[in-house]
A and B are shown apart, each in its own frame.
Chain A
């Protein structure tokens, strides 16, 4: 069942990502970015990552998309559209080359996959992992978030 779901989700995700790059209206590009965030959350569910799916919806769909839409509103550049710069063709060449290299590597590598069933539900295991072996990165993340909030306030304050 997850196979069909994966193909549908993959098609919608790639379509939404292409729409972000191609659409001329910046606001519509932001809305298709929200669609991409939602489908990525669904892809996490097909990978049995239930906690991450909820985190994805809370942080990306809930917070980051609002931030981006507010930024689009505040900068009043919607009328200018979503133009490409002078580097359009080189950027396309670089991206296609990188994609070809990555796909070739992924397909030609013999991945050592494990046949074990996935752990579920994951929330308790992620919690004991975060506050067990990963406690130092968690503390550093707290400092990072504080620095980011202070930095955003300092940058945006009226002189």
Chain B
């Protein structure tokens, strides 16, 4: 059986689920950010696979993937700035201790 669209989509789903588990379960904020990057990469694989197998002559999926990469870069910059700002005031990156906005 030759590799087709389904294989890439299943790979993408597996990566997305691993990233989701990390985001929900981990306590270190930097690790949560890393798992968000895994999820974004999984989405990009799905977009590029659709672009390759469904509309090979149009690169819409690849252009979407470029926008996802740009937003991921902006998100990483702001996210790490927020983590370091919180680390300065709390001396910790443990998300269980990030309760300063709790009512």
Contact = CB atoms under 8 A, between A and B. Distances in A.
B67 A141 contact: yes
B2 A3 contact: yes
A75 B31 CA distance: 12
Contacts of A17: 14-15, 18-19, 38
Contact of A98 (B11, B20, B35): B20
Nearest to B27: A85
Interface residues of B, number: 74
A118 B28 CA distance: 42
11 contacts: A21-B26, A26-B31, A64-B73, A68-B34, A99-B13, A116-B56, A118-B52, A118-B56, A126-B59, A130-B66, A137-B67
Interface of A: 2-3, 6-7, 10, 13-14, 17-18, 20-21, 26, 29-30, 33, 36-37, 40, 43-44, 47-49, 51-52, 55-56, 59-60, 63-64, 67-68, 70-72, 74-75, 77, 80, 82-88, 90-92, 94-96, 98-99, 102-103, 106-107, 111-114, 116-119, 122, 125-126, 129-130, 134, 137, 141, 144-145, 147-149, 151-153, 155-156
